[in-house]
Each structure stands twice: as structure tokens, then as C-alpha cells.
Structure 1
């Protein structure tokens, strides 16, 4: 007899026992100060006086139970069955009924801490890289296009999934119960899980439509994809909430005893994986035929454009399609042996937790368009820094020129005065700003200041040579005429043999 047949017979026997228990409940009136007759899902418990414990042999129709042991159920002094704070329902102690080998395999317990550590590291790395990738695509206007807008939505779904996974794990570390806040976190986490798989499907659908209906034209509106991507999970999460509230309001909605309720969430996820796999196979088949069907120049150019664009897009299809399909098969194989189950747990957590990192890497950091825009942005920032430095140097040099003008004015006043008290000739200062450019050794002959008096010799002017070298401010040249100053400046004839003022 196969395992499926054994399980089927056990379910039939349990159903028969449940009907017998309900029949006993209908014919017997309820006495005072006793816990009522009840069916706990496996065994029928008789009426029990308040403040006592009911003890029954382990059910013989459950194959995994030890028939020589007993199960217990507590009746409180209030005449009600004991309610477990973790399950939020009446609780039966079946601990003794389980044989020693019925518990979780010890080898798996040894690997669980390592598997959880991989999950934490993977989701943390994914969260960090996804946030950086999102900011790069969102803040750079040159990268704003329908295709990248779709990628941003995918990034958001991965960010929410990674963040809520951390929140869920922290929450259950601190408190594991069936409070409303706990259930709310699970609901939001389940929604993020559905939305993430759904957005992977939207990426595959968008790529499929581009190939078959509007190839090489990604300027179409993505509003319909955005609406479907975030609203479609609601159609499944609401029925799941209602079903859990009515039929399995236990364990903060993280334990799935009812298979039908489990498939309300798992069903759409499995369907999206299968659809993406179909998209991948169909797209690769058609693209192969298009790329090699003709050798004409137009087709060659088209194939080149096609290949260039799909380097950053098509590579994700096997990532979220084929690998999930392989994990579905591996999940079935994991039940064959403990070793396969351990391997599957490692592989599943590794791909699942690091998938957001792979998405950010492929869609953003390794994308040629993004890399070019980041290089341009870096060059613009460096250019702005150089411009700011030059502006600051020019401002300082202007101040230095004015200071030297006052020094020269004082010198001319002392030279032109006479002993008879004759009127001194007035002086004026002229500053000339030249069109500068980079010279060897970073010297910029930028400003020339000269003092000119109406009756003085033009050769009495002073030229100020501005040196932009770090640690040097300027050099006061020997008196020369304005024309010679300009001539030397234009010819680059200034030298550093002049007198230093600093």
C-alpha cells in the first residue's frame, strides 16, 4: 500500500471519528461546571469536570502515534478548555504520542542557524544594493524611460519584500503570538511576496509584448503594467485574510494546517513562475529565428540593436523564471531524503535572499546606459569642482591686486613729492583682467595692476603676476611700462626671478 493510500485511509477514519463525536454531543445534555464534549481535529474529548485534566490513549487510527502513550487536555476552573496563548485556540498535549523519530530530523536542526544566517545576509545585501540602484535610476533624468520606470517598480517590490522579511523575523524574535499587530505584519508581508512575484511576471509580460507586438519600441505607456502589478495581489490577499479569519485563526497566520488556504497564496505564485518560464522559452525561440533568418544589412543592424538592448533585459528572464521552476522540482525531490532537503534549503535561501542583489546588478550596475550616465555625472561634478576652485582663486587674486595698488600709490607719492611743497601729481590704479588659460606648471598670468600718474614715466608701472601654484600668492615685478607688461603676459614672458612679496 502506498503512502497516499495510507493517508487517504487515515483521513477517512478521522472523518468517521468526528461524525461519531458530533453524534455523542447531540444526544447528551451539557452538565454544569464541566468542559463540554469537543472534537479537537484528531480525537473526541468527553465532558470533563472543571479544574481537572482529561487523559485518553493516543488515537490508534493515527499511524505515527505511539499506541502505548496518552494525550492530555486541561479543563480550567471556569469550565472551559485551556486556550493556548500561541495558537489562540484550545490545545491538546500530544507530545507523548509522537515517537522519538517523529520530530524534525536532528541534521536539519544543525544546519538551520547557517541557513538563517544566509537569509539575513542575503536580504540585507539585496536591500542596500536595491536602494542605491533605485536612487540612481530615479534621480537621473537621462535614464527616465518607460522601460526603466518598470524596473523601478520591480526594485520597489524587492525592497518591500526584503524590508518586511527583516521586520517579520525581528517581530517573531521578540514576540510570537496571535495579536492583531502580528497578523497585520504577516498580511503585509504576504502582499509584498505576491507583489514581488507579480512584478517579475510584469517584466516578463512587458518583454513578451515588445518582442511580439511592438519590437524595439519601448516608448509605450506602462500605466497598465503598474496598475496590474500592484492591484492584482489584492485579489488574492483579501480572500486569504477572510479564509484565515474564519477557518484557521491560529499561530499568527504563519502555520498552514489547511492546504486549501495555503494554496490561495501559493497558487498565484506558482502560476506566475510557470507563465514566466513559458515567456522565456517563447521569446528565446522567436529571437533566435529572427536573428539568424536573414543576412541583409537591415536585418544585421536590427539584430545588433536587439542584442544590445536585451543584454540588460533578457538576462533576467531565466533568473526569475528558470531558477524558480528548478526550485519547484527540487522541492519535490527534497522529500526523498534528508540530505537532499538540506541541500534544497541552502540553495533556496541563497537564490531567494540574494535575488534582489542580482536584479540590481543586472538592471543597474552592469547596464551600459547607466554606466555611461554615471561617468558623465562624475565628469560634470569634477568640472564643477574645478570651476569653483578657479573662481575662488580669481576672487583672491582680485583682492591681492587692489592691495598692491595701494602699495604702489604710496611709493609714487613719496617719489614725486618736492621740498618746496609743490602740488603732488595724483595717481590712479588700473586693473586689467586677461583671458587666461592653463599654462605649464599651473601658472595663470591673470591680473596686471599698474599705477599711472599723468606726469610720470610709463616705465614706472608695476606689473603683478599671479601664480596659482599652491602656497604661492603672487609676485611683484620690477617697474615696467603697461605695454611691456601686456606684451610679456601675452608672450608668456614672465619669470620667477622677480621679487617675491610673500
Structure 2
């Protein structure tokens, strides 16, 4: 870890060791400390090796990192950063390499993002679909799209660039903070879906316009305090590696997630109870039967509510890297987590009867209008031609 006290202590020890070491003859690279390891004076055109640091998560200390001294007596510089570079990619055992898992995450998030953007485009295009319920759906889509886009940025700019976590710049910590906020909005907007259904089906006499305003504020603002506390705590503790870790969820984040999931399940249980009562009554005695659209939204919410909790429910059971089922766990977690946005789009848009009806209507207009015009023109021409011909026969 990039602990300032450790860095200062090991910097002094490294300088002392290199000052007390006789440098090699001829051209050589001067010994240096790269904040992780101390590298000795090294002859030109050779490579220095050192055991991987113990404090970096995922590194195996029995493996070796290396640093190249070029032919002109300078440490090799990375072409992207232009800075002297030490190779720590060899510190991860092949069986512990997570590059395939990262590819799974990137693929899943990309698919989900495309599906969500298409859903938003469809709901924006068809003005006739606009209502309070669709507004809630669109905000849910937007929260997932934001979350997926930020995850793709995180993998592309931080995870796939070994130097960035080590340097721990401000922008990557800010990206992590925004990412945690976006993740929390998924849960608060899923809660808004459940709250909307509960209010509309259980409390019939409610102003939907006022309800939507309340949900808009709750969906986007509820995660703010948790995200701010999380960022403040990590800033105060000076956490390294762009605040990326594989440990248990932070309490300030986990509490909000657990509360939203539990409340949503409570809402859904009460909704099911009320619907069963209405269905048994058969719509008699002035009791309105629930619409097919409401039932579809309820089914979608019932399916998604537990699905969104999987990410946090699986974390306590995460195996150690040396466990036989560690890789299987990572694959399952990557698939289920990254494709949540796709599930949201499918359940609330692509399987929505109203949306499908609008798409079918639009498709018929685009497909059959030219053919109908062509048939009409042909018929008119035929009638005129026949009429003209009949006149000539009478003459």
C-alpha cells in the first residue's frame, strides 16, 4: 500500500543501501526506489530482479518483479507515461490472472449499456407512452446506463493501466467516488419502482404528478449522503490504488443497499397481498381489478428486486484466491452483475406490451405504406383505362 510512512522509511533505507554499495564498472543505472521496491545499481543492458512486494493485494511474494537498465545506462521508460517503469505484471500467478474476468465485465456492461440506451431512445421517441410509470422506468434506465458507462471508464482508464492505481491520482479517486454513487442510484431507483407500484395499487387516490416529483428527488438524492461519507472516509484514511479493493462492502454503502432491498421486498409482499384480495373479489363491489400493465410491472419488479441484491449477498461468501471454486465464483459474479442493466431493459421495455404495440404499429406504417400507395395507383389507372376503353366501344 502507498503508506507515506512506509515510503519515507523505505526510501531512507534504499538510499543508504545504494550509497554503501560499490557501483559496477562502466555504464550503469543508478539505484532507485520506485515507492514499492528498492532497485540496486545495475549494469547497462541488463535486468534487475526483486521479490514482489508483500503489501500489494493479489501479488505473490515468491514471484519476481523486474526493472530493465537500457544500453545507455538509463532505466527503461514506459512509452505511454514517459517515466521510468518497473514491471510488476509478473507478480500475479497465471491461475490468479483476472484478465478474462475483466473481459467478461466489460462485455456484459457494454451489452447492458447498448440495451439501456436503445430502451431510452424508444421511450423518448414514442410520446404516446409518456406517463408517470414510464418516467420512473426511464430514470431507472438512466441510473443503470450511468453506472455501466462509469464501470467501462473505470476498466478502460484504471484497471487496464497498471501505472494509474500505483500513482493514485485525484481523478481516479474521484471516478471511484462517482462510480459508488451511480451504483447506489440503481438500488434507490429500484426502490422507487416498488414504491410507485405500491402507492398506485394500494393507495388509489394519489396525485401521480406529485408522486413522481418525490420519486425523482429520492432516486437521485438519497445516495448522496452515503457517497459523500464514503469518499470522506477514504480520503481521511489515504487509501491507495484509486480506492479499489476486494474487501467487504463499506458500511456506509452496504446499509443503504440493504435498507432499499428490504423495503422493496416489504412493498412487494404487501402489493401481492392487496392484488390477491382484489382478484378474489373479482372486481365486484366497486373494487377495481389491476390492469395487465400493472401486473407486468409487478412481475418485473419482483424479478429484479432480488437480482439487484445478489451483488451484495454474494460478497460475504467470496472465496480466497487459492480456493478451488474461486474462478467459478468470479465468472458467475461477473455475468450476473454486468448483465443487470440488460435484465432491466428487457423486463421493463422490450417485454412491455405497450412498447411492443407501438413498435409493431410503427413497423406496419414503415413497411406497408409504400405498397398500399402502389396498389391504389394501379387500381385508379386500371379504372380510368377501363372507362376510356368503354367509351370508345360505344362510339
SS at match of 1:214: coil
What TM-score do the two structures reach when normalised by structure 1? 0.56
Please identify, of 376-385 and 199-208, the stretch whose mean Cα deviation from structure 2 is larger: 376-385
Aligned pairs (5 A) from 1:77-476: 83-84=35-36, 93-94=53-54, 109=97, 112-172=98-158, 173-174=160-161, 175-176=163-164, 177-214=167-204, 221-255=211-245, 262-292=250-280, 294-295=281-282, 297=284, 302-303=288-289, 305-306=290-291, 308-325=292-309, 328-335=312-319, 338-382=323-367, 384-385=369-370, 438=376, 442-445=378-381
Q: Give the conservation status (yes or no) of the 8 Å contact 1:165–1:189.
A: yes
Following TM superposition, by how much is the alpha carbon of 1:145 offset from its aligned partner in structure 2, in angstroms? Answer: 0.4
Q: Give the conservation status (yes or no) of the 8 Å contact 1:330–1:344.
A: no
Change (3 A) 1:224 1:99: same
What TM-score do the two structures reach when normalised by structure 2? 0.69
Q: Give the conservation status (yes or no) of the 8 Å contact 2:197–2:294.
A: no
Following TM superposition, by how much is the alpha carbon of 1:298 offset from its aligned partner in structure 2, in angstroms? Answer: 5.4
SS at match of 1:338: coil
Following TM superposition, by how much is the alpha carbon of 1:48 offset from its aligned partner in structure 2, in angstroms? Answer: 5.3
* Structure 1: segments with no counterpart, 5+ residues: 1-37, 55-75, 86-91, 391-436, 448-464, 468-475, 486-502
1:403 aligns with none
Matches of 1:160 and 1:215 in 2, distance apart?
34
Q: Give the conservation status (yes or no) of the 8 Å contact 1:130–1:360.
A: yes
Matches of 2:315 and 2:12 in 1, distance apart?
44
Matches of 2:110 and 2:10 in 1, distance apart?
52
Matches of 1:47 and 1:118 in 2, distance apart?
39
Greater RCO, CA 8 A, separation 6+: 2
Matches of 1:298 and 1:219 in 2, distance apart?
28
Q: Give the conservation status (yes or no) of the 8 Å contact 1:274–1:325.
A: no
Following TM superposition, by how much is the alpha carbon of 1:386 offset from its aligned partner in structure 2, in angstroms? Answer: 5.0
Larger Rg: 1
Q: Give the conservation status (yes or no) of the 8 Å contact 1:331–1:344.
A: no
Following TM superposition, by how much is the alpha carbon of 1:238 offset from its aligned partner in structure 2, in angstroms? Answer: 2.0
Change (3 A) 1:286 1:100: farther
Q: Give the conservation status (yes or no) of the 8 Å contact 1:137–1:144.
A: yes
Q: Give the conservation status (yes or no) of the 8 Å contact 1:443–1:466.
A: no
Change (3 A) 1:49 1:168: closer
Matches of 1:298 and 1:217 in 2, distance apart?
24
Change (3 A) 1:107 1:275: farther
Q: Give the conservation status (yes or no) of the 8 Å contact 1:155–1:360.
A: yes
Following TM superposition, by how much is the alpha carbon of 1:199 offset from its aligned partner in structure 2, in angstroms? Answer: 1.1
Matches of 2:238 and 2:141 in 1, distance apart?
33
Q: Give the conservation status (yes or no) of the 8 Å contact 2:60–2:93.
A: no
Change (3 A) 1:369 1:318: same
Per-residue CA deviation, residues 56-94 of structure 1 (Å, 9 max, x unaligned), is: xxxxxxxxxxxxxxxxxxxx99xxx97459xxxxxx944
Q: Give the conservation status (yes or no) of the 8 Å contact 1:191–1:233.
A: yes
Matches of 1:361 and 1:314 in 2, distance apart?
14
Following TM superposition, by how much is the alpha carbon of 1:313 offset from its aligned partner in structure 2, in angstroms? Answer: 0.8
Change (3 A) 1:140 1:195: same
Following TM superposition, by how much is the alpha carbon of 1:342 offset from its aligned partner in structure 2, in angstroms? Answer: 3.7
